[in-house]
Every structure is written in C-alpha cells, then in structure tokens.
Chains A and B, each alone.
Chain A
Amino acid sequence: MKLTNINKSFGNKNVLKNTTLEFPAGKTTVMVGPSGSGKSTILRSLNLLVMPESGQYDFDDHHLDFSQKVSNKDKLAIRQETGMVFQDYNLFPNKTVLGNIIEGPTQVLKQAKKEAIANAHNLLAKVGLADYGDAYPNELSGGQAQRVAIARALAMSPKYILLDEPTSALDPELELSVLKVLLQLAEEKQSMVIVTHNMVFAKHVADKIIFVENGEILYDGTPDEFFAPDNPNKRIKNFIASMTMENLK
C-alpha cells in the first residue's frame, strides 16, 4: 500500500504536502505527531474517506490518480480491503453487536447469514466479548465498544486495518483491553496502520514509525531509531519527551 506525492487541503490550509509513504504488508505501521498534523487525513486517504486533490495511490492491482475522478468501483473495492476503526467507535446503534459485525459481510460481501454469524462469534471470542452478541452498543463500555469496532473491521477480512486514535477516548484500564487485542493482531501479522498518541504502545507494537508534523513527514523508519535516546532530531526528541511526560521530571 503506497501513497505518492499526495496533496490535500481543507480551505486555505494545506494539510498534506507532497506526502509519499509506504505501508508494508504484514507489519504494524504507527503514525505519531501533534494534533492537527495530518495523521488522520493520511489514514482516511488510505480508506478513501478523504480524497486527496492530487497524487497517486497504489493498492494491490489498483492504481489511483487523485487528480482524476476515482471510480465508485475502485472506491468500494479499496474500502472493503481496508477496515477502519474510528476514535469514537461509530457502531451502528440500531443494531446489536452481532448485527454490527455481520452487516458488512452479509450486505457487501454477500456472505450467507449463517456463515457470517459463525464468523462473528469467533471474532467476538477473539476480542474477549463472546457473550455480548445480543447487546446493543449503548450497553457497552467504551473499551468493549471499541473491541466490537475492531471485530467489525476484521469481519470483512481486510488486507489492512486502519485505526484512528482507537484508545484516545478511553480511560487507561479500558485502553489496556483494546491494546491487548491490537498486540495480538500484530503478533498474527495482521497489516495495520495505527494513529496514536500512546508512545509506550507505539514503541511496543510498531514495526515502522512515521512522524508527521504540519503535513510533512519528519521521520519514516524503525521504532528503535525513533525512540533512541541519541536521536539527532531535536524536534522528535522533544515530542517524545512531551508525550511520555518526561519533561515533568
């Protein structure tokens, strides 16, 4: 999955400036950076919820040129292959947990309902919510809702899972329940792109780190180098220090 020279602006603000990034399959790529830096815009461009104004996007056999109109067929196909998990879960409140998970497989992939339900039960067990199939989203805690959202994304068997600050709305205890699921997925070599502010988790899970600021990529490499105490990039060092609250010392 690769973005090449993409540009995106909202009003007068250029959020992405000639951004080129590659997201390796079977790996966990973590995007970090200050709020408003463009991380979520990159993530949403991968799922085509945001359409950049120019640049290219290569995904398997799909080659998109954003300066031309992207066909609906390409759009739907890429979205099926890139499961998205949102910061505020966005579960469908009118459907049960099971209903949320089987919606995509039955309506989009045209899977048989019986098969989709069996698969959904497996996924719920995987995220530690085996007994919650009949619950409605408003009966779940934030951590449970986010795990259902992850199960919903996994139900489409996507090549990549994109997670947009999946734990920033959760308190630390609930956050842990979600992070454990993500760690398990990383161990299973599920391709993931995660936007997070949690540096401890980023260090733990990332195969690759991308640091974004003002729509520009200031770092694209291994977590070891990124978190190294002798990282020559002062800006990155300061950012890590502020995010891990080292400056309080």
Chain B
Amino acid sequence: MWEIIKTSLPQLLAAGFKYTIPLAIISFFFGLIIALVTALIRLSRQRGAFMILKWIASFYVWLFRSTPLLVQLFIVFFGLPYLRIKGVLPHGIKLEPFTAGIITFSLNTGAYASETIRAAISSVPTGQWEAGAAIGMTRLQILWRIILPQALRVALPPLSNSFISLVKDTSLAASITIMEMFAVSQQIAAENYQPLLMYTLVAMVYAVFTTILSYFQGYLERVVDRQVNANNR
C-alpha cells in the first residue's frame, strides 16, 4: 500500500498544482469581477434602458444558480461546438478543456458570489452613503473608498467558503477531459485496481488543500477585521 501511495501521491500533487489550484484561483478571480459587476448592476437605482441590464443580470444569476454545475460544464464544452450560426459561427464555439473549465467555473462562482456581495453592500448602513455624499464625494468614490471596504468584512467569510467549495468542485473538470487531480486518481485506479485506496488518497489531498485554505481564511479575516474595524457606532 505504501508503495502505491509513494508512487501516486507525487502524480496527484503535480496535477493539483498544474490544474486544480490554477483552475480554482483563475476562476475565482474572474468570478469575483463578474460578481461585483453583477451585484452593482442589480443594486443600481438607474431606470430606463438600464433596466434591461438589470434584467439580464438577474436572469444570469437565476440561470447559473438553478442548474447543476456539471450540466453547465457539459453545455460549454460539449454543447457550444454545435452552436452553429450561418455566416457568423459556421463551426460553433470550440474551446480548449481548460478554457471551458475557467469560463464555466467563473460564471458559476460569479452568480453565487454576486448574491454574497450584493447582501454585503446592502448591509452597510445608508448613513455611510449619505455621509460620503454630504462631503461631495461621487457615488463611485463612496463605493470604492467607504462602502466596499466595509462590505468586504461581511463578504469575506462566505466568499472564502465559495472559494473552498470551488477547489472541490474543480474535480468535475475531470468530466471534460482536464487531467486535474481527480482525473489522475481515476486513471491510476484504473491501472492498479485500487479504487478505494486511490479515491481515499485523493480525498485526503483535497482535505489538506482545503484545510490550508481554511486556515488562510481565518488569517485573512483577522487582518481585515483589524484594518476595517467595522464596528459602526
């Protein structure tokens, strides 16, 4: 048993550092940008043509939260090549597995995180917007310098949870041929006929990754707490 662990663990870790971690970090980065933009659109008080944008943002959040991540991955990777439009997309949209993974995970994370960010921004008292406005700050200045730092403290724990979930969810990328950690464990199990050992081993590696991330989450929360000091009077 130890021999199998000794030979397969480096392969799993290599796949983890080459695919699992980059997939999670890059997707989370883009997911956060999508989430912030979506949350701001949905919170905006603009009317008129802007309502269309609000409707699109709401539809996007609804769509990605109400369908399984695995199905989303399949649509983007296996489905989009069949999205053929004469003259515009004669060959559909063919994506590399890693790119398809990044796009799907980013959109999925963006939908969930946008709700977290929306709630966090809403939790900052209106008085903070007013205090900024009262000294002549623009809405963008107030948002960036006053509201978001306070919202960050509220959003950090749920966002960290989303990131930890995302690390585990990247195992679904195995289904679109990305050779990340879980895919490698499947491959090794098929070769050595030790599925219990291999899947337990890969589970332990995920557990170690997420435990380190949880520890880092706690540290980050303490840092933000110190800096943001958000106990409004």
In the assembled complex, the CB of A107 is this many whole angstroms from the nearest CB of chain B, namely 6
Residues in B neighbouring A94, C-beta threshold 8 A: 146, 149-150, 227-230
Q: Are A93 and B231 in contact (CB under 8 A)?
A: yes
Checking A76, A91, A137, A152 against B136 with a beta-carbon cut-off of 8 angstroms, the contacting residue is: A76
Q: Are B233 and A88 in contact (CB under 8 A)?
A: yes
In the assembled complex, the CB of A204 is this many whole angstroms from the nearest CB of chain B, namely 26
The closest CB in chain A to the CB of B130 belongs to A49
Is B138 in contact with chain A by the CB < 8 A criterion? yes
Residues in B neighbouring A136, C-beta threshold 8 A: 229
Q: Are A89 and B233 in contact (CB under 8 A)?
A: yes
Residues in A neighbouring B141, C-beta threshold 8 A: 107-108
Checking A79, A90, A153, A156 against B128 with a beta-carbon cut-off of 8 angstroms, the contacting residue is: A90
* A138-B233, A156-B136 known; A93+B131 contact, CB < 8 A: no
Residues in A neighbouring B130, C-beta threshold 8 A: 49, 84, 86, 90
Q: Are A145 and B233 in contact (CB under 8 A)?
A: yes
The closest CB in chain B to the CB of A108 belongs to B136
* A88-B127, A93-B150 known; A103+B145 contact, CB < 8 A: yes
Is A47 in contact with chain B by the CB < 8 A criterion? yes
Residues in B neighbouring A84, C-beta threshold 8 A: 130-131, 134-135
How far apart sit A82 and B141, CA to CA, in the bound complex (Å)? 19
Q: Are A93 and B229 in contact (CB under 8 A)?
A: yes
Checking B125, B135, B138, B228 against A156 with a beta-carbon cut-off of 8 angstroms, the contacting residue is: B135
Q: Are B134 and A107 in contact (CB under 8 A)?
A: no
Residues in B neighbouring A91, C-beta threshold 8 A: 131, 233
Q: Are B135 and A80 in contact (CB under 8 A)?
A: yes
Is B137 in contact with chain A by the CB < 8 A criterion? yes
Q: Are A93 and B230 in contact (CB under 8 A)?
A: yes
Is A33 in contact with chain B by the CB < 8 A criterion? no
How far apart sit A140 and B232, CA to CA, in the bound complex (Å)? 11
Is B133 in contact with chain A by the CB < 8 A criterion? yes
How far apart sit A84 and B232, CA to CA, in the bound complex (Å)? 18
Q: In which size bucket is the chain B interface?
A: 20 to 34
Which residues in window 126-163 of B have CB below 8 A to A? 127-128, 130-138, 141, 145-146, 149-150
Which residues in window 83-106 of A have CB below 8 A to B? 83-84, 86, 88-94, 103-104
How far apart sit A47 and B134, CA to CA, in the bound complex (Å)? 7
In the assembled complex, the CB of A160 is this many whole angstroms from the nearest CB of chain B, namely 12
Q: In which size bucket is the chain A interface?
A: 20 to 34
Residues in A neighbouring B145, C-beta threshold 8 A: 103, 107
Q: Are B137 and A108 in contact (CB under 8 A)?
A: yes
Is A142 in contact with chain B by the CB < 8 A criterion? yes
Scoring A88, A91, A103, A156 by chain B CB atoms within 10 A of each residue's CB, the highest score goes to A103
How far apart sit A108 and B145, CA to CA, in the bound complex (Å)? 12
Checking A72, A93, A137, A152 against B135 with a beta-carbon cut-off of 8 angstroms, the contacting residue is: A152
Q: Are B131 and A79 in contact (CB under 8 A)?
A: no
Residues in A neighbouring B134, C-beta threshold 8 A: 47, 49, 79, 82-84, 86, 153
Q: What is the 8 Å Cβ interface bit string for chain A, positions 181-199, against chain B (1 contact, 0 not)?
A: 0000000000000000000
In the assembled complex, the CB of B158 is this many whole angstroms from the nearest CB of chain A, namely 19
Which residues in window 115-159 of A have CB below 8 A to B? 136-138, 140, 142, 145, 152-153, 156
How far apart sit A27 and B228, CA to CA, in the bound complex (Å)? 39
Residues in A neighbouring B137, C-beta threshold 8 A: 103-104, 107-108
How far apart sit A76 and B131, CA to CA, in the bound complex (Å)? 13
| 6 nearest CB pairs, A to B | A104-B135, A84-B134, A90-B131, A80-B136, A90-B127, A138-B231
13 contacts between A and B (CB under 8 A): A49-B134, A84-B130, A88-B127, A90-B130, A90-B131, A92-B146, A93-B150, A93-B228, A103-B137, A104-B136, A138-B232, A142-B233, A153-B134
